[in-house]
Structure 1
Amino acid sequence: MTVVIPMRNEARGIAACLESVLANRLPGDAAWELLVLDGDSSDGSAAIVDAMAERDPRVRRIANPKRLQAPAFNLGLAAARGRYLVRLDAHSVYDPDYLAESVRLLEETGAGNVGGVQRATGTNWFARAVAAAVSSRFAAGDAAYRNATTAQWTDTVYLGAWRTETLRALGGMREDWAVNEDYEMNVRLRATGARIYLSPTIRSTYFVRSSLPKLVRQYLRYGYWKVRTLVKHPGSLRWRQLVAPAFVISLLLTPLTVGRFGPLGAAHLALYLAANLAASAATAAQAGWQYFPVLPLIFLTIHCSWGSGFLFGCLVWPFRRHD
């Protein structure tokens, strides 16, 4: 097996990430390698990886001069010596049976890609509130990789594990995708007839963004690049992807609707506020009431950022020349 981890300036978390991966064992103590694709880190991340590589020969650092995720993945794929390839994220830590479960389910299900549910957490109070929010259906819609409790066939998973030959036949990730590159590759994978399997037994913990500006930037990029994928693969559209843009449009139209219908023209705002507060209360009841004061703002930020990014993408991607 080959494990691929793209990395750029992850000094705060890369040691814990790698230690959790290296604690994994494959059936029969099968051999495996861990490739860290370093996107020109400047915060000491490379030195941390190199120190771990000196202690464990499974670890190898490879330079990724293009810095982005897709080129990193493709560099790892080109260097891979394993029969299977598992993509991991430097923002996460992994259960000790993560790799073994991935291999087992690839073989038992015959899937083209298997992955697990993203369990979110945070390093401070705000980040833990974000983690609770992104795990809610009010933020994630019907995205199974956020909140599924049972194994199922799905359209995408968090991270993923594949047979290496499958990825090479597919051509790896599209390097002209800066975001949403994993979903785009999964669309192409499903077009070949392969299926994607999600199982809650493939367990990892993801550390979410720790501040409001970082959250805004993340979801603006998600929405913007989702349109790039939809322009290329219009059949991949899901209803959940239209809800946030529709909400942003309704906000922009509020002055017109209020001018035409008076207070009734703002009814959609009252409905959203009620839904937001109800979702915030339900989320706080599970995660802790100390997060309730900020949850409405987090939900609003996610919806407006993703929706605004999507709408801006609609003004850009359909008119750009690309293959």
Structure 2
Amino acid sequence: MSETLLLSVVAPCRNERAHIDAFCDAVLAQVLPPGWAMEVLIADGESDDGTRERLLERCGQDVRLALVPNPGRIVSTGLNACIARARGSVIARLDLHTRYAGDYLAQCLAALDRSGADNVGGPWVAEGEGPMGEAIAAAFQSRWVVGGARSRDVGFEGEVDSVYLGCWPRSSFERFGGFDDALVRNQDDEHNLRLRLAGGRIWQSARIRSSYRPRGSLRQLFAQQRQYGYWRPFVMRKHGQPGSLRQLVPALFVAALVLCVLLLPWTAKALASLLLAYGAYAAVASVLAARRGGSRLLPRLPLVIAAFHLGYGIGSWQGLWDLAWRGAPSPAFARLTR
């Protein structure tokens, strides 16, 4: 296999026994352009549910699959371990909880070729399972919930500030470095921010199609968003700025709520106005989000939207507290939530 025509697929995982076979089958079924070959590097974060054993079996059945040890157990260390071992001139990241069009990797290669960008990817499309999962997916896809992020726009083609998953020429990692091993979450956002600050370009193509399975309960969603928010201040400390201003809005909302509560009864009217305004916003945003999944999602959407914003905002303040008083992240946030 010529190095210039080898695509390295990298994927971190931990305790994914229920999903590993479907993932391997899907990625091995990808149709590549003529002249391209593929290697698939899966970093196992010391799984204890049988994932590693099943991976070893699959690797013995197909030489394109390889298991990469990930003693760090988190996404960033797993990605870096795979990238260090990768031999391809192009490196594409995949996720075990995402479904991919049969030409997903071929379209990534095509987008790199026509855009000349340093990182390419498709829109981040969520497809939930069950009533609550569908409501979470509808909110996830709504610009009125996530702040108009281009990465959720299924029809957009052009430059963006961040992209789902990613596909890079090897030269991008040589130029911008790998993922930050200190970040449990937001390692992809940080890498994209670092890439842009150094003059790199990120390109989104609507032809790169995939669908992501989001969390299926309010508890899981809140925990996920709190963890995303928690790691945001550590990214800001590193670069002196957020990836985008919309990432600060949930923290400001939570701060306003807490301040009004602490200053009661003098702020009773302000608190009532704030809650009324947010309630009206959540109602309108729910109606707009329900256009994707139907009116049956409406009863759940206000709670889903609140879980998105309060989880992220509370997590951001917890991260800021630990950054200011501990100077380091808390071990409680060092474990991925699912």
TM-score, length-scaled by structure 2 = 0.90
- Partner Cα separation in structure 1 for residue 46 and residue 237 of structure 2: 31
Query: Which of residues 73, 76, 90 in structure 1 aligns to 2:82?
Result: 76
- Long gaps (5+) in structure 2: 1-6, 329-338
Equivalent residues in 2 for 1:12-51, closer than 5 Å? 12-51=18-57
Change (3 A) 1:51 1:290: farther
Displacement after TM superposition at 1:29 (Å): 4.6
Q: Write the letter of the residue equivalent to 1:27.
A: P
Query: Which of residues 116, 122, 128 in structure 2 aligns to 1:116?
Result: 122
Match of 2:3 in 1: none
Change (3 A) 1:18 1:275: same
Instruction: Classify the secondary structure of the residue corresponding to 1:251.
Output: helix
Is the CA contact 2:186–2:231 (under 8 Å) kept in the aligned structure 1?
Answer: yes
Instruction: Classify the secondary structure of the residue corresponding to 2:205.
Output: strand
21-30 vs 41-50, which deviates more?
41-50
What is the CA deviation profile of residues 12-55 of structure 1, one whole-angstrom value per residue up to 9, with x for unaligned ones? 22222222222212211511101111111122222333333233
Query: Which of residues 139, 144, 151 in structure 1 aligns to 2:150?
Result: 144
Is the CA contact 1:258–1:266 (under 8 Å) kept in the aligned structure 2?
Answer: no
Is the CA contact 1:84–1:162 (under 8 Å) kept in the aligned structure 2?
Answer: yes
229-238 vs 290-299, which deviates more?
229-238
1:8 and 2:14 correspond: yes
1:286 and 2:304 correspond: no
Instruction: Classify the secondary structure of the residue corresponding to 2:216.
Output: coil
Identity within the alignment, %: 37
Equivalent residues in 2 for 1:132-281, closer than 5 Å? 132-255=138-261, 259-260=265-266, 262-263=268-269, 265-281=271-287
Match of 2:332 in 1: none
Match of 2:4 in 1: none
What is the CA deviation profile of residues 258-297 of structure 1, one whole-angstrom value per residue up to 9, with x for unaligned ones? 6226545411111110110111122223202222111111
Displacement after TM superposition at 1:192 (Å): 2.4
> Quick check: which one's strand share is greater?
1
- Partner Cα separation in structure 1 for residue 271 and residue 9 of structure 2: 54
Displacement after TM superposition at 1:124 (Å): 2.7
Is the CA contact 1:231–1:318 (under 8 Å) kept in the aligned structure 2?
Answer: no
Instruction: Classify the secondary structure of the residue corresponding to 2:184.
Output: coil
Match of 1:94 in 2: 100
- Partner Cα separation in structure 1 for residue 113 and residue 120 of structure 2: 10
Is the CA contact 2:260–2:270 (under 8 Å) kept in the aligned structure 1?
Answer: no
Query: Which of residues 45, 59, 62 in structure 2 aligns to 1:56?
Result: 62
Instruction: Classify the secondary structure of the residue corresponding to 1:35.
Output: strand
Q: Write the letter of the residue equivalent to 2:17.
A: A
186-195 vs 61-70, which deviates more?
186-195
Is the CA contact 1:117–1:203 (under 8 Å) kept in the aligned structure 2?
Answer: yes
Change (3 A) 1:192 1:291: same
Match of 2:316 in 1: 310
Give the number of equivalent residue pairs.
322
Q: Write the letter of the residue equivalent to 1:156.
A: S
- Partner Cα separation in structure 1 for residue 40 and residue 238 of structure 2: 32
- Partner Cα separation in structure 2 for residue 204 and residue 20 of structure 1: 12
- Long gaps (5+) in structure 1: none
Instruction: Classify the secondary structure of the residue corresponding to 2:191.
Output: helix
TM-score, length-scaled by structure 1 = 0.94
- Partner Cα separation in structure 2 for residue 18 and residue 262 of structure 1: 56
